[in-house]
Chains A and B, each alone.
Chain A
Amino acid sequence: MTATLVETEDRRAYRATRRRDLAVDLSMTLATILAALAIGFVVMLATGKDPVRAYEAMLTGPLERSFRVGRWLEDATTLTLLGLSVAIPFRARQISLGAESQLYAGALAAAMVAIFVPLPPVVAVIVPLVAAAAAGAGMGLVPGAMKARLGANEIVATLMLNAIAVRVYDYLVNGPLKQPGSTAVHSDPIRPDSALTPLQEWFGVPLGRANTGFVLMLLTAVALWLLITRTPLGYRIRMTGSNPDFAEYGGIRVPRAIEWSFVIGGAVAGLAGAHLVQGVYGRLEPGLAGSLAFEGIVVALLARNNPLVVVVAGLFYSYLRSGGDIMEQQTDVGTEIVVVIQAVIVLLVTAQALPDLLKRRIARRQAGVR
């Protein structure tokens, strides 16, 4: 009897700690965003701009017209998928910077199938998606296996693969895959059956290039959340990330968990590539990914690598991005300020000591009260 009493008390205390930490995490995230926006405000003020007008355009702009909403959702889909793709290896404490190479592999695979292979409807959408995920996973396996089996530095390996993938992609789009007879550099269009349905057809309002890839992204996030929190593999990945020595001691094959985290992340980045090809551009364009791959890292960081929170962070960050474009059109403030704000967010988020200091102080104060 007494034992159970103690247990429930422990449990209650544990839950209270969890709640408190969550509250601190949430308020820290909010404070981080506000601080970054405040710094952006000061920068604009210091450079002789009108920050109030600029922020007004940036923060209300994306919702003003339906096609702007579409632009936001389309951007959020790619960005969130990229955020999810790094969040998984990050959970295993693997600093994978290879989302770019995996995205290009996925885009190429999806395009090859969607352009050249005639397939019946529905299947024509699914097969390129699967091909893209497989190609991305294969691209992720290279640094994953190198790290897991040989202990090779994953940062260097992923950076090298990015450099290679970008160049090979550039060669293919400018060379063998270039649309014959076209003056502009891009591939043939994909077959209409392979296109992801535009959301416009569902809602009946102009939503630009936003497409069902958005739904696919949401499903992917939920699936990854279930994987991480509810499956043995997810448990192994989390344990590997929080304490590899203890995980090894507990019988987890750490190298395997590391490898899987890279493969899963790669598959998701491959889907991001497929979304760009099948949903957004309908063909291969040069420089498809832009700087999105590195911005995906920011999204994952802001969400502390929790797949469901990555969706929120991705939506938030794309909102800033599309708002930044509108701000640039309507005011004299350049969209680059958004990148500065984003960078400040990264630097504040990575300053681990800040929230820990706060949590410890709160815990100490509560302990003092009791």
Chain B
Amino acid sequence: MSSVLDVVLSSAFLAAVLRVATPYLLAAFGGLVAERAGISNIGLEGQMLSAACTGALVAGYSGSVTAGAVCGIAVAALLGLLLAALRLELGADAIIAGIGLNLLASGATAYTVFTFLDDKGGTSGLKSGTLPTVALPGIESIPVLGDVLSGQNTVTWLAFLAAPAVAWLFYRTRFGFHLRAVGEMPEAAASVGIAVRRVQYAGLALSGALAGLAGVFLSMGYVSFFVRDMTAGRGFIALAAVFLGGLRPWGVFLAALGFGAAEALAVQLGTLDVPPQLVSTIPYALTLVALAVYAWRRKRRGAGEVTAASM
């Protein structure tokens, strides 16, 4: 057990947590924005995947990492808008449309990569580069903290800054107020003159963009290539973090960080004698328990208003 503690307390492990948590944080904030706008974004997974693929391809062919990142994020934002349009204009079920978008992303990315590079696996044959890391002068000299923070990717910094940014957006800006009002009760929001659809479109575009940044990090953060289905369910886990975090920015932040820490731990424990698959189930089991406890408490408070429509 002491060896486990050694692993957990090492600065290398903490640095790994920040790195592994990055896509979870960004995608979870994306999910949070959409959820608070009143449209569940199950398509996070597909938006991440599309951004990862687009980013690597554009960066590889244009030679500009920035162009790749911008295009990746833009594609993901467009997919967010598409989800909003399907929901708002064509009366689609947001959950099912999201599943459709995920399928579309999975098929289209694999098809595109195969068409361009004649490779089934990914874009490893294409030089696309990585996003820059942040070097703060003097930070290396701080003990522990220096080791943890130095050399982290720009996107990791953005992911951690996203928490206060989203909190500020929700509770300190006009748009955030409108967004929450629309998600809470669209009729009431409309009755006081809020342009409900416009707010929802903007919310879903932002949601997609955040997921896109997470996706770009996957293919351009530490590795410099796209691998088929490389998101590997992260979008769904991020969605779980949204609910586990109680739909609040800092709650979601902690939940996503927890998922990241658990995954990093599972990787580290792989070197010890613990089956990594079982360790990596812990966050999901905890989420399940938390979900039940949360629902039970709300039910006791709300005197048991359980219908098929309640979430």
Contact = CB atoms under 8 A, between A and B. Distances in A.
Interface of A: 43, 47-49, 92-95, 97, 142, 146, 148-153, 155-157, 159-161, 163-164, 167-168, 170-171, 174-175, 240-241, 244-245, 248, 254-255, 258, 291, 294, 297-298, 301, 334, 336-340, 342-344, 346-347, 350-354, 356
B123 interface: no
Given A161-B288, A248-B307, A174 B277 contact: yes
Contact of B275 (A155, A175, A336, A343): A175
Contact of A167 (B92, B96, B237, B280): B280
Is the interface on chain B under 10, 10 to 19, 20 to 34, or 35 or more residues?
A: 35 or more
Contacts of B100: 343-344, 346-347, 350
The prevalent SS among residues of A at the interface is helix
B1 interface: no
B292 A346 contact: no
Interface in B88-111: 89-93, 95-97, 99-104, 106-108, 110-111
B171 interface: no
A149 B277 CA distance: 30
Contacts of A170: 277
Given A146-B291, A152-B294, A168-B278, A352 B91 contact: yes
B291 A160 contact: yes
Contact of B309 (A157, A244, A339, A356): A244
A344 B104 CA distance: 7
A95 B306 contact: no
A337 B277 contact: no
B278 A148 contact: no
A350 B277 contact: no
A334 B114 contact: yes
B178 to A, nearest CB: 25
Contacts of A168: 277-278, 281
Contacts of B108: 336, 340, 343
Contacts of B96: 95, 297, 301, 346, 350
Contact of B111 (A258, A336, A347): A336
Interface in B64-98: 86, 89-93, 95-97
Contacts of B288: 142, 157, 160-161, 164
B172 interface: no
B86 A350 contact: yes
The 6 lowest CB-CB distance pairs between A and B, nearest first, are A339-B107, A346-B100, A343-B104, A353-B91, A152-B295, A343-B103
Contacts of A301: 96
B92 A148 contact: no
